[in-house]
Amino acid sequence: MPDAYKGFRRDVRTDRLGPFAVGDPLYNHNRKFNEETRPNLVFSIFYQPQTQEISTGAIGERRPGWFELPPHANGDGVHKYHAWRWSRQKIADEPYNLIVLPTASGGYEIHTKIRDFGRTLLKDVIPDIPNGDAELRKLFGGRKLFDYPKSVDLLRTLIGSVPGKDFVCLDLFSGSATTAHAVMRLNAEDGGRRSFIMVQLPEPCGEKSEAAQAGFQTICEIGKARIRRAGDQIRTEFPGACPDIGFRVFRVDEGCRKEVLYPPEEISQPLIGQTVSNIREDRTDLDLLYACLLDQGLGIHLPHTSRVVGGCTVHRVDGGVLAACFDAGVPDTVIRDIAASRPQWAVFRDSAFASDAAKINVTEIFKSLSPGTRVQVL
């Protein structure tokens, strides 16, 4: 028997198929799985003590000689039952992988059997997950901001099972951002360089929820706050080995450019005035900068700095791979400063140049100081 099973103090038995460890009870511990959300998994299981037969049926069904195991009571105050983890069909197909054990109260409880002792499956050794709620409460002063958050220990185990220490963890349903918390903590423990991408729709928190009362309007806001607080916690716990705990937040939206292609019959003088600039008015310098990175196939994770040169803000990405200035009326001194750093790409807004002659002048400056730079005008 693998040591992993011994560590969980599993009861080891033998049947006609060989040795097995007694697994967890068959019912789903999560209250969210109930007669409303999983009606097909809410039914009674019947056990015949003499023959040890197992079958399923309706709750409350009368079967002389059989013992009824109804679904566990749900304590959420709304629903009556917990769902089972197995369907009726699976129970009918695999009764040999179930065992019914007597309880101290004189009843019975049904458990799964864990087989294949020649190997250890990851699913059989992952830690229990109920501490996810306690972990999140600890970060937020005891407040319950999220229903059933995953456990950091669970995610650390899963992530730690992947070979290597330098890869990206993508969570497409990130919720309270437990995955980010686990990645940062695991990096602090083993010196890894793993990074994370959390994806979450901005689902609103209920108006009467504790999260809303704490000032969080969406699930995304909870996740961002959790990453910041988890980072502070890790910095305190691992002062000499604190990993990179910074992160950036991006929102999927329309592009930065306006729609300026109209059929002739729709063009009017006011419309022409609105399209002098092809950039949407609500877009910031950072919006434009990251749009440029995506256009050029550069990673939006790359480091960037900003500094003021000649009254204009100049952005440099990854030590100068890309340089950009989105101010209007950029003077030659700033353009020469950018060209002198010899970036691979240099990006300006069209409004940076007062005339076509000014654009031509920029081209000549780069030809002279940095001929390998590709200049782009938005």
Q: Answer whether 0.75 is exceeded by the pTM.
A: no
Residue with tokens 């039914």: 43
Percent of residues in the chain assigned helix, strand, coil, to nearest 5: 30, 20, 45
Mean pLDDT by 10 residues, the chain (378 residues): 49 90 90 94 97 96 95 93 97 97 93 77 62 90 89 90 94 96 94 95 92 94 96 91 87 72 60 59 85 89 92 92 92 93 92 82 92 90
- Cβ proximity of 251 and 205 under 8 Å: no
Contacts for 17 with CB less than 8 Å, ≥ 6 apart: 96, 115
pLDDT at 152: 92
| Encoded amino acid at 323, one letter | A
